[in-house]
Structure 1
């Protein structure tokens, strides 16, 4: 997996890292997510990167060992449909969320201007994967970061991901706010890049625990 990382030194600039998606070989990053820091400690913190998930399938997968209603490994949902999943990272082990991809919006190549991608952006078209996170467990998930959401091209292969350090107004990757308790919902966004205008990002996938190769799982998807 190749990584392109850039940092701007001017006051209003943003840095970014383009994370090339992995081929669908079951090579999944199983590292835990770290909780996002409160705003006061955010400057200078390293961005969370999300590995591209393995390709989802409609075949039956083994259900994660958790509560009834939990999304099965490899399960495919419709856009707008919620997937109930465990969130087992750091201080939030044992948490539970409902993850919903609400829309996949096509941007324009001009959206990438000012990010100093250079010729790395040539021909690329950004897509914005908008999703919501609802706390359906009993754990306070203040400042948690729910990543591992990526794009899927029309043929089912993983799209390239773009992680922006700083604030990108067209697609704000929001962490959970303070006091994010049961019943609360937060909207957030992930960026995927299509290789050309002729290729579209047609779906999205979540490849966090337990839906990754490290846990003998398979990403869940929305199409």
Structure 2
């Protein structure tokens, strides 16, 4: 994958405008990287495959909120608006602790995608905006780190397709963490998940970045 994030001085901005639609399963090879690499080009969306029952059976144990001492565990389910606290790693040098909250999963309109000029690649699909908040609850500066690896799930448990945007998208803005992102600082983020039709909904979100894995991440619904 070619790097498309610039980190030299100041606030990190995603580089030249471009985009790619991919199926969620196609992202599995990116798990464990620093989140800076994105695929650029006109890749055709790949269908989402049904997940196995074991990978889609999130834990029902009580979640630990961002203000609690407990750490979130893989497979744990949270309510929308509830924070999950866990160790965070970005690349090889940035380590700390964050509290991640999925604030809402909002249904958009197919017309929202028109400015992206994707044509048939998104024909009939409906965007859902997974809006989340990142809080630094650790003692290290997480400046310029990227909190990504967020995906949506449909009502039947299968993975929604991800829309990865390189550049800006006003409907769902997302940037790397800013300079001096120290303890107590927060930032909003957004990820786009695509429902295959107007009659299908994206009903939950999953964060599967390090230290978690796809299918055993943290869930919100």
What's the TM-score once normalised by structure 2's chain length? 0.76
Alpha-carbon distance in 1 for matches of 2:39, 2:103: 22
What is the alpha-carbon distance in structure 2 between the residues aligned to residue 80 and residue 173 of structure 1?
18
CA displacement at 1:58 relative to structure 2: 2.9
How big is the shift at 1:47? 3.7
1:91 offset after TM fit, Å? Answer: 4.7
- Aligned pairs for 1:18-33 (under 5 A) are 18-22=21-25, 29-33=30-34
2:219 match: 221
Q: Is the 8 A contact 1:56 1:76 kept in 2?
A: no
**TM-aligned CA deviation for residue 14 of structure 1:** 3.5
- Deviation of residue 48 (structure 1)? 7.3
Per-residue CA deviation, residues 100-144 of structure 1 (Å, 9 max, x unaligned), is 000111100000102121111111000000000000111101111
Instruction: Deviation per CA, 1:147-173: give whole Å up to 9, x if none.
Output: 001111111211100011111000001
SS of 2:178's partner is coil
Partner of 1:57: 57
CA RMSD, Structure 1 to Structure 2 (Å): 2.6
Looking at structure 2, the residues matched to 58 and 22 of structure 1 have their Cα atoms a distance apart, in angstroms, of: 18
Corresponding position of 1:8: none
* Superposition TM-score, scaled by structure 1 size: 0.76
After superposition, what is the alpha-carbon deviation per residue over 1:174-206, rounded to whole angstroms, capped at 9, x for unaligned? 211110000100001000000000000011000
C-alpha contact 1:56 1:75 (8 A) present in aligned 2:
no
Q: Distance in 1 between matches of 2:199 and 2:146?
A: 32
Contact 2:59–2:77, Cα closer than 8 Å, also in 1 = no
Match of 1:206 in 2: 207
Residues matched between the structures, number:
187
Superposed CA deviations along residues 22-69 of structure 1, whole A, max 9, x for unmatched, are: 29xxx664332156xxxxxxxxxx6479xx9x74423379xxxxx951
* 2:134 paired with 1:136: no
